[in-house]
Structure 1
Amino acid sequence: MTEAAFASLTTIWATHARFAPDRTAAICGDRQLSWGEFDRGTNRVANALLALGAGRNVPVALVMGNSLEMLLLMFGIVKAGACMVPVSGMLAPPQLAGMLADSGAETVFVSEDCRGLVEAAGLSDKIRRIAIGFSADGWVDGDTLLAGASADDPGVWSRPEDRFNIIYSSGTTGLPKGIVQSHSARTHFAWSNALELGMSRDSVALATTALYSNGTMFMVLPPLLLGGTVVIMKQFNAANALALIEQHRVTHAFMVPTQCIVTLDDPACDAHDLSSLKGLLSAGSPLRADTRDAVVARMTPNLFELYGFSEGFATMRKPQDRPRRLGAVGRPVIGFDMRIVGSDDVECGPGEIGEIVGRGTGTMIGYHNRPDLDEAIMWRDAAGGAFLRSGDLGFVDDEGFLHIVDRKKDMILSGGFNIYPADLEAVIGEHPDVQDVTVIGVPHPKWGETPMALVIPRGTPDPVVLLAWANERLARTQRLAGLELRTEFPRNALGKVLKRELRAAWEQPA
């Protein structure tokens, strides 16, 4: 196969710019980019990097807040044939330093709001720090660098197996794993989700989460594949998100369950016209049934739910799906296959609970510099076919729909009984004074573990009364040992609660 035979995302973007240069590609705040401007901007980034020696498969990092500049830099890196490494600006300095060292990036683009973090990280002198939107001693002036670069196409053809990006997982201990995704996998991600979500060239997608996060790409890569428009929020705010949907006639949006909850609680929820929404995608963690019903009733009936993991697998539940069991999270996204396997690594039958494993065109190349983890994540069927382990427990019903039971590592083993926190969270979440809830297992001298509920309340409920209310509705083996009120939970970039950090308060020091 010749290089020209593979239509990478970069070549497709260039085609949109060539034949529809005046159409809007991206909006952020009161600024916007046409497709022609998007093309010229990414070309300048690519040509500047090539002049610096950052070519095919070379890792180039970004530590930036959401902006049009970040969008151009991300995909300018890719257009140069280099490997994009987007890094969170919410890390502690040692975490940032470790992640950049692990990635091997010797060039990092930094916005002014992340400058202090990068300077505190004490990066190696070998790492070229490029300032975007500011100037300072010891920094390369990125604005001048890019302004002086050519806006012509850099002429780089990407191959299917080339590295598109390294996305770091949201680990809570040690160094997060770097997930390496190829151009082939990212192209599959773009077209499969565009197809499943019903996007078109006229789609306007709202990105409410951080651009460095893999989940945000649901509202970036599919619409850009089709020549549509991406609306980028600098920072999520429920009232602003609702206003943007109405202002720009947004057709598709992505919100994690926490965002759905706070949006429903915002007074602006019923004050805006959301009729343009053809798809509201929720992912990151399962929606509670009460939240799902409220979204459908008050925001849009066009609710899509996605279960997946960044290593490369997903299922989707669509508005037209009518599963008999309402907890279903869908069937595999086109291009993926799935199995459920037991603790003995034997495939489970219908309705049996086991670990979810998946494979498909969109799976990762592997973990960056961790071949040991590559093998550990694999499950192979009788024919030798390789699937990726999810670490999640679930089952497939007789209609072919997947149901998530819980994280394998979050399951509570109490007195010989398996307790799934998601079951308890669904019950507690029905109380009107509960905005959000998470259940963790804490040590118990008799039972080994016992469930503890942590609740973000509406108002000021009495935790003793709330605990009694919940335990009246739970099975004897599920009953809570305690309930505490919190103002917030530690979360990753997509709003998933970091339960390990919560459990740490109850762990005995070694």
Structure 2
Amino acid sequence: MTELLDQPFVNISDMLAQHGRFKARRMAVVCGDVSRTWGDFDAGISRIAHALIADGLQRGDRVAVLMDNSVEMLEVVFGVIRAGGCAVPLSGLLTSAQMAGLIADSRATRAFASAGFRDRLDGVRADLGQVSRWIAFGFSGADWIPLEDFVVGHPATVPSIRHRPGDDFNIIYSSGTTGLPKGIVQTHAARLHFAFSNAIELGITSDARTLTTTSLYSNGTWIVMLPTLFAGGTLHVMPAFDPAGFLQTVKARQITHSFMVPAQFIMILDHPALAGANTSSLQRVLCAGSPLRRDVKKKVLERLTPGLCELYGFSEGFAAILKPGEPDDKFATVGTPVMGFDMRVIDAEGRECRPGQPGEIVGYGAGMLREYNDQPDLTEALIWHDAHGRTFIRSGDVGVLDEDGYLTIIDRKKDMIISGGFNVFPTDVEAVVGQHPSVADVCVIGVPHEKWGETCLALVIPRGDADPAAIMDWANERLAKYQRLHAVELREEFPRNALGKVLKRLLRDPYWSETRI
């Protein structure tokens, strides 16, 4: 029998359009002096979508977004998605060569950029022939089309694009660095689950007034950004973070929800403005990106808000959360899986570990990635199958589950360094430092830093005479800001296992032993 009704898929773009229609005069987004009601925000998204469609954008085409925090950046991202494209937000901390590498890897056909990216892009645009259109926000120049000219004359109505659950929504890069980083491809269905599951876990409703403090290209920011827009709340975007500005905005705007990395919490706790601040409006403040030291957590709960949530997860699509009200004996854990996810801990042979036995954390759920972009071997290596044949994804992290299913993290994801909430992969930094003529061998580790949580230390086996300061200056000129070295130390040899692999844990331990609680 022919079905009379279609099978509706109410996706995130549809939800934004509904808010534009039924909440038209309510505030949607505020960033600095710029604000949009839901009606105007939705209209801006649609104009960009129509402009892209008129420019020949096809379903699934990738569009790079290199923009600083702004209302317009959000309109561009969701305009790309509404047009049937796949948004590729990229970091503003990358070098010119790194940006070019990610644009090429994503196969982006168009690119939007704000003024802060222009100088780095102008030097590489000639090598990116796949990009047919460069759209500028806040500046003009040869072969750049100003954003206002690109959208002029296009309607504010929602285009007739029907999104499918399996369509690509965005690509998030796990690290924008030298070599070939991993592009995490996420679908409409995965992002829809991401939006409503985090909204429920964090209590984000249409009454939420959420403050984002980190860059909008970051997947961590999306943990609160996407649920707030999905629910029809009001999103307040900090153009750049500063602790006094955070406290002032929380009070003035009666902020209910926010997200920060540990380094930001530390800056707020150390700021004199906290003494007279009113943060009573805060219902939930999420910490993610790197582990929050226990002593810092206690101070946050006492001095900033009792509504602290800690989230452990990875952009590939899994998360666990510890929320207020959990038993005291779970204080040092990262909680249980976010709704819609399952979790296991497995040993080196792929067998499930018993409670209390450490192993690799693997996760499963509706928010998982579709694949690593154009890297099938890496995608396949990510998979672990449970007894029912479900494809869990490997974290590379070592953890342990207790009898109640609460997860405790034992070790960091491989050797990754998390500095100020940004993921830094030592091999990428080592690839740069190793090019210095005075460097015979190099090992990069993360060491404690009062402000950033961790920072990069390069341990170098020199070739002849070597000046550590000169090596550091040379390398930092070639590294992204968040990758830069804090120091260089000379060594005669590295501890290695029987296969010659450097034992980085032995190198790290002396630097961390005095900070452990």
Answer yes or no: same fold by TM over 0.5.
Answer: yes
Letter in 2 for 1:14: A
- 8 Å contact 2:415–2:445 — kept in the other structure? no
- How far is 1:502 from its partner? 7.6
Q: Give the structure 1 partner of residue 113 of structure 2.
A: 110
CA deviations over 1:42-99 (Å, ceiling 9, x no partner): 0000000000111311101111100011011011111111000001121111111111
For residue 362 of structure 2, give the secondary structure of its aligned residue in structure 1.
Answer: strand
Q: Give the structure 2 partner of residue 124 of structure 1.
A: 128
Change (3 A) 1:505 1:403: farther
Structure 1 residues 425-444: aligned runs within 5 Å: none
Q: Give the structure 1 partner of residue 315 of structure 2.
A: 310
Structure 2 CA distance for aligned equivalents of residues 504 and 233 of structure 1? 37
Change (3 A) 1:134 1:170: same
- 8 Å contact 1:79–1:156 — kept in the other structure? yes
Change (3 A) 1:138 1:249: same
Aligned match for 2:202, one of 194, 197, 200? 197
Q: Give the structure 1 partner of residue 139 of structure 2.
A: 134
- 8 Å contact 1:315–1:333 — kept in the other structure? yes
- 8 Å contact 1:323–1:399 — kept in the other structure? no
Aligned match for 1:456, one of 449, 454, 460? 449
Change (3 A) 1:121 1:399: same
Structure 2 CA distance for aligned equivalents of residues 176 and 317 of structure 1? 30
Structure 2 CA distance for aligned equivalents of residues 93 and 504 of structure 1? 28
- How far is 1:453 from its partner? 8.0
- 8 Å contact 1:172–1:501 — kept in the other structure? no
Structure 2 CA distance for aligned equivalents of residues 198 and 505 of structure 1? 50
Q: Give the structure 2 partner of residue 434 of structure 1.
A: none
Q: Give the structure 1 partner of residue 149 of structure 2.
A: 144
Q: Give the structure 2 partner of residue 49 of structure 1.
A: 52
Q: Give the structure 2 partner of residue 275 of structure 1.
A: 280
User: Which piece of structure 1 moves more, 380-389 or 85-94?
Assistant: 380-389
Q: Give the structure 1 partner of residue 217 of structure 2.
A: 212
Q: Give the structure 1 partner of residue 95 of structure 2.
A: 92
- How far is 1:137 from its partner? 1.2
2:71 matches 1:68? yes
Aligned match for 1:348, one of 341, 353, 361? 353
For residue 414 of structure 2, give the secondary structure of its aligned residue in structure 1.
Answer: helix
Q: Give the structure 2 partner of residue 295 of structure 1.
A: 300
- 8 Å contact 2:98–2:177 — kept in the other structure? no
- How far is 1:328 from its partner? 0.6
CA deviations over 1:435-454 (Å, ceiling 9, x no partner): xxx9x9x9xxxxxx999884
Structure 1 CA distance for aligned equivalents of residues 402 and 269 of structure 2? 31
Structure 2 CA distance for aligned equivalents of residues 171 and 17 of structure 1? 34
- 8 Å contact 1:205–1:251 — kept in the other structure? yes
Q: TM-score, normalised by structure 2?
A: 0.81
Structure 1 CA distance for aligned equivalents of residues 484 and 31 of structure 2? 33
Letter in 1 for 2:409: I
- How far is 1:143 from its partner? 1.4
Q: Give the structure 2 partner of residue 156 of structure 1.
A: 161
Q: Give the structure 2 partner of residue 78 of structure 1.
A: 81
Letter in 1 for 2:382: I
CA deviations over 1:262-292 (Å, ceiling 9, x no partner): 1111111222211000000000011110010
2:223 matches 1:230? no
- The root-mean-square deviation of aligned C-alpha atoms, in Å, is 3.0
Structure 2 CA distance for aligned equivalents of residues 504 and 79 of structure 1? 51
Structure 1 residues 416-427: aligned runs within 5 Å: none
Structure 2 CA distance for aligned equivalents of residues 374 and 502 of structure 1? 35
2:411 matches 1:406? yes
Q: Give the structure 1 partner of residue 250 of structure 2.
A: 245
Letter in 2 for 1:76: G
Q: Give the structure 2 partner of residue 482 of structure 1.
A: none
Q: Give the structure 2 partner of residue 389 of structure 1.
A: 394
Aligned match for 1:13, one of 9, 16, 21? 16
For residue 399 of structure 1, give the secondary structure of its aligned residue in structure 2.
Answer: coil
For residue 206 of structure 1, give the secondary structure of its aligned residue in structure 2.
Answer: strand
Change (3 A) 1:323 1:402: farther
- 8 Å contact 1:54–1:60 — kept in the other structure? no
- How far is 1:3 from its partner? 6.5
CA deviations over 1:355-401 (Å, ceiling 9, x no partner): 00001000010111011111001111233221100011100112211
Structure 2 CA distance for aligned equivalents of residues 306 and 117 of structure 1? 34
- How far is 1:508 from its partner? 7.4
CA deviations over 1:193-231 (Å, ceiling 9, x no partner): 000001111001111111111111012110111110100
Q: Give the structure 1 partner of residue 175 of structure 2.
A: 170
- 8 Å contact 2:173–2:182 — kept in the other structure? yes
For residue 329 of structure 2, give the secondary structure of its aligned residue in structure 1.
Answer: coil
- How far is 1:4 from its partner? 5.6
Change (3 A) 1:82 1:267: same
CA deviations over 1:468-491 (Å, ceiling 9, x no partner): xxxxxxxxxxxxxxxxxx9xxx9x
- How far is 1:139 from its partner? 1.1
Change (3 A) 1:500 1:262: same
Listed as ranges, the gaps of 5+ residues in structure 2 are 419-423, 431-441, 452-471, 495-499, 501-517
- 8 Å contact 1:181–1:364 — kept in the other structure? yes
Listed as ranges, the gaps of 5+ residues in structure 1 are 412-420, 423-437, 443-448, 459-485
For residue 410 of structure 1, give the secondary structure of its aligned residue in structure 2.
Answer: coil
- How far is 1:23 from its partner? 0.4
Structure 1 CA distance for aligned equivalents of residues 241 and 203 of structure 2? 24
Overall identity of the aligned pairs, in %:
45
- 8 Å contact 2:24–2:37 — kept in the other structure? yes
Q: Give the structure 2 partner of residue 466 of structure 1.
A: none
For residue 108 of structure 2, give the secondary structure of its aligned residue in structure 1.
Answer: coil
Q: Give the structure 2 partner of residue 475 of structure 1.
A: none
Letter in 2 for 1:251: T
- 8 Å contact 1:307–1:315 — kept in the other structure? yes
- How far is 1:316 from its partner? 0.4
Letter in 1 for 2:20: A
Letter in 1 for 2:87: M
Change (3 A) 1:378 1:130: same
- How far is 1:314 from its partner? 0.3
Structure 2 CA distance for aligned equivalents of residues 504 and 178 of structure 1? 33
Change (3 A) 1:385 1:147: same
For residue 243 of structure 1, give the secondary structure of its aligned residue in structure 2.
Answer: helix
Q: TM-score, normalised by structure 1?
A: 0.82
Structure 2 CA distance for aligned equivalents of residues 55 and 451 of structure 1? 43
Structure 1 CA distance for aligned equivalents of residues 400 and 350 of structure 2? 15
Letter in 2 for 1:219: V
